[in-house]
Each structure stands twice: as structure tokens, then as C-alpha cells.
Amino acid sequence: MRMRNNTMVAEKVKKIKGNIKERSIENAIRVASELIDELNINNVPVPIVKILNELGFAVYASDMPKQNISGFIIINPELNEKFNTDRVIAVERSDTLGRQRFTLAHEFAHYLFDFNENISYSYIDTYDQNKAEDISECIPSRFAAEFLMPKRIFISKYNELNNLSEYEKVSILMKDFDVSQKSVLKRIEELRLNNTTGNT
């Protein structure tokens, strides 16, 4: 699945990518927030596939070679002949849509933080769930959470559900943001929403 490169989106992403000075959780949060603002994302679910397509990525769901692999990103000019683009992201076909969307955002973070086109023409990363707690994977995962569940929108929607049970809140937020239950629960914890009231 691929769309024609959107120059405006590509330029905005390139500008933010060029301003990344270091790989850190703080920068993952900042970059995700800047992208949400720059791309004028005010509604959810965040159109992660469309954004990647507009950056020239071909996005596929397929069977991963190993059980614990959620997806991968490859950037290489040799891909052009088969995919009509030099960049591909693939996700595990059997994963839920929410899990696939998180993997896409995770690999998008690797593109932003780890691929420097001024130094190299190629890049590859595989998202291995066995290494999910490694700091090298925690930063892209934090970006994915911040990007798919933007703080301002997430808090607003959470507060709108004040009269519902926690189970109902989580179920609705999963549907609204098109993410997994695990992602919603972790985001609620990150934003300390279950410990406070009247968040803004």
C-alpha cells in the first residue's frame, strides 16, 4: 500500500527530523508532539499509514520470519525494482490492527531517530518483542505511544468518560485511538490519569 510522496508532509517531517539532536525519551516525546502539531492532527485515530505513504513508504502486512518479530523497516535503493520505492515497513499479518499500528509508529521512530540519509543510503531494523525492554527499543515505543495517543487529545477523551467504569473507558479509548488494550492502559499510567481527577 503506497501513496504518492506528499511534498508538504515530507518537508515538515524532514525539518523536525533534522532538528533531532540526541536519542532520548524526552526527545521521543518532544518529536511526537511537534509532529502532531506540524501535521495538524486534531482527530483520532492518527492516520499513521497515510503519513508513512506520503513519506514514500510502502506498508505491508505479511508473515514475519520469526515468532517474536512484530515488524521491520528497510530502506535501500535496491527495493525500487520490486516495490517502486526505496523504503518499506512491514508488520506481522496475524497481529491485531492496534498492534500493527503501534509497530508502524515504532518503526517510524527508528526512521526519524536512527536513519541519517546524509551518511548512509540504507537502513534496516527489526522489531523483536524479546528486546522490547531494551533502551534502544523503549525510545521508539515511547514515541509510538505519544504519536498515536497524543497527550492533549487523550486526556480530553479520557475526561469525557468520567462517569464510566475503567473497563468501559479503556474499551472506548481502544476504539477511538485504534490501539491495543495494553497501549491504552500504559498511556493512562504514563499520564497518571487513574490517580488524578480533572486533568487538562
Quote the CA–CA distance of 58 and 91 in Å, as a whole number: 11
- The one-character DSSP state at 191 is T
- For the record, the C-alpha cell of 50 comes out as 497515510
Q: Which tens digits make up the pLDDT trace of 2-50?
A: 434 467 999 999 999 999 999 999 999 999 999 999 999 999 999 999 9
Q: What does the H/E/C string look like for 48-116?
A: HHHHHHHCCCEEEEECCCCCCEEEEEEECHHHHHHHCCCEEEEEECCCCHHHHHHHHHHHHHHHHHHCC
Q: What is the pLDDT of residue 200?
A: 43
Confidence at residue 198, expressed as pLDDT on a 0 to 100 scale: 43
pLDDT at 6: 60
Task: Read off the pTM.
Answer: 0.91
pLDDT higher than threshold 80 for residue 70: yes
Burial 60-73 (b: 16+ CB within 10 A, else e): ebeebeeeebbbbb
Which pLDDT tens digit goes with each residue over 77-88?
A: 999 999 999 999
Task: Please name the residue that has the C-alpha cell 515504532.
Answer: 106
Are 28 and 140 in contact, with CB atoms under 8 Å apart?
yes
Strand 123-128 to 58-62 pairing:
unpaired
Closest Cα to residue 111, out of 62, 69, 75? 75
What span, in angstroms and rounded, lies between the C-alpha atoms of 8 and 10?
5
Q: What is the pLDDT of residues 90-131, one digit of tens each?
A: 999 999 999 999 999 999 999 999 999 989 999 999 999 888
**What local confidence, expressed as pLDDT, does residue 9 receive?**
92
| Cell 518503526 found at | 107
Tens digit of each residue's pLDDT (9 = 90 or more) over 127-152: 998 887 787 899 999 999 999 999 99
